[in-house]
Amino acid sequence: MDLFLFRVHYTCIIQIKIVMVMGYFKPVLGIKPINKINVPFHLCFRFMEEEDKGMKELKNWAEQNQVPFVHKRFGRWV
């Protein structure tokens, strides 16, 4: 089972419903857990350097783990 550290929270792959990208020039990524309406603030992030490389790797990871990767606006919840 893969675990990911986001700030101070651990998230398991089986808890991820969808990975969303919002915006074009400085996109924000959100990882939406199962059974949540909005993306929790601690699961929102932006690539500071090598954005294209990071997006490509994240998209490949999502495909390999059968997690949907979509470009869509999303609400963030603190």
Query: Does residue 20 register a pLDDT over 80?
Result: yes
Q: What is the pLDDT of residue 37?
A: 87
Query: Does residue 1 register a pLDDT over 50?
Result: no
pTM for this entry: 0.76
Residue 28: CB atoms within 10 A of its CB come to 16
Cβ–Cβ under 8 Å, residues 77 and 38 = yes
Q: pLDDT of 37-71, one tens digit each?
A: 889 888 888 888 888 898 999 999 999 989 999 99
CA angle 57/78/7 to nearest 5° reads 45
Q: What is the pLDDT of residue 9?
A: 57
Mean pLDDT for all residues in the chain: 82
The domain limits of the chain are 3-77
